[in-house]
Amino acid sequence: MANAMSQQTVGGTLQLLSNSGTHCNVGNRSVLLLPKGFKLKVEFSKRGIYSSGKRKFNVIQASTSQTSVVGPLLAPSSSDTLDSHMKSNEVALILIRHGESLWNEKNLFTGCVDVPLTNKGVEEAIEAGHRISNIPVDMIYTSSLIRAQMTAMLAMTQHRRKKVPIILHNEDERARAWSKIYSEDTIEQSIPVITSWKLNERMYGELQGLNKQETADKFGHEKVHEWRRSYDIPPPNGESLEMCAQRAVAYFRYNIEPQLLSGKNILISAHGNSLRSIIMYLDKLTSQEVITLELSTGIPMLYIFKEGKFIRRGSPVAPTEAGVYAYTRVCNFLSAFLLICHGPV
């Protein structure tokens, strides 16, 4: 291994400042055991892969273009839960784009049309649940659309606490009375789920229900790309990303952020454009940066909310506290033995 490895990134560099260490094999992976005192500097990169000579280091991506963390990095095994590693002034914010829907599968513009998940979407939601199964969740927010609600519910079936997500019905007095729970013990074992149309996908107007390829053939690829990816140009009688951001970010700031400030751990299950809008707010992205942000279906993204600031952690890699908190442990426990698993050249 080279004495030093350095890859320029958007936020800084990744540097390995020693050639000491021992290689061994774990399954089909080559593993480097790093001794005490080894210095490692890790920062985020838009590029997705750090390399040194012929070696390439894998990253876990929460989106296909913008967000990545170095991984999988595993701290020494521990039976402790992730909760015990979260400081009292830290809370978790989890964002999940719904799994694949039936109209995703058919390549149709969906927008605010209410369609369910495919079998693949169900599997993606369950896998998302595995990834967040050790992260505490106190409240869930979803859009009013079934694909986002299905994703949240299926994900929570995998959670280690086994609490039951229950959709709150506040439409009117009768809805509140009829859905009231009278057991304190049952309430303790439940997670409130709040739905809002303000977290819906952006409304695609006259494109909803149209095949994306056929629409591009009819109106031209450049025009359709403008409708889909520009920040402030809406499709005919629809919403632009800017318009979607106005409602989604306002809802987040005035409804969800106060819950985080009160110490609640929050899961948001929503859509590509409503979540892009929220990420734009969390990461302080420009209108040009956000239009290049792509979120994969069913891949959760973890933020830590601490002292009024949002710290992006990327996507949890496994139902272990080591996987979720790999980046934190690299920063805080440089004296620990770390395993850096790399893939094929």
Residues annotated within a binding site for substrate: 97-104, 110-111, 147, 201-204, 212, 228-229, 272-273
What single-letter DSSP state applies at residue 253? I
**Contact residues for 27 (Cβ-Cβ < 8 A; gap 6+):** none
Residue 63 near residue 292 (C-beta atoms within 8 A) = no
Distance CA 230, CA 234 (A): 8
Nearest to 160 by CA among 322, 321, 343: 321
What tokens appear for 282 in the block? 């969390």
Where would I find the H helices in 81-172? Answer: 102-105, 119-131, 146-156
Find all residues with CB under 8 Å of 268, minimum gap 6, and list them.
93, 94, 95, 96, 140, 141, 142, 199, 252, 256, 275, 278
DSSP-derived secondary structure for 166-183: EE---SSHHHHHHT----
Phi, psi (rounded to 5 degrees) for 56? -125, 135
Eight-class DSSP state of 147:
H
- Which residue out of 85, 98, 159, 271 is catalytically annotated? 98
Helices 241-251 and 272-283 meet at what angle, rounded to 10? Answer: 70
Active-site residue flag, 98? yes
Catalytic residue among 85, 124, 201, 239, which? 201
Point out the annotated binding site.
Answer: 97-104, 110-111, 147, 201-204, 212, 228-229, 272-273
User: Among candidates 75, 6, 13, 4, which has minimal Cα distance to 44?
Assistant: 13
How far apart CA 345 and CA 338 sit, in angstroms, is 21
Identify the residue whose tokens are 């009829």.
Answer: 178
**Cβ contact 240:269 at 8 Å:** no
Measured distance CA(322)–CA(59) in Å, rounded: 15
Catalytic-residue membership of 201: yes
Give catalytic residues, as residue numbers.
98, 201
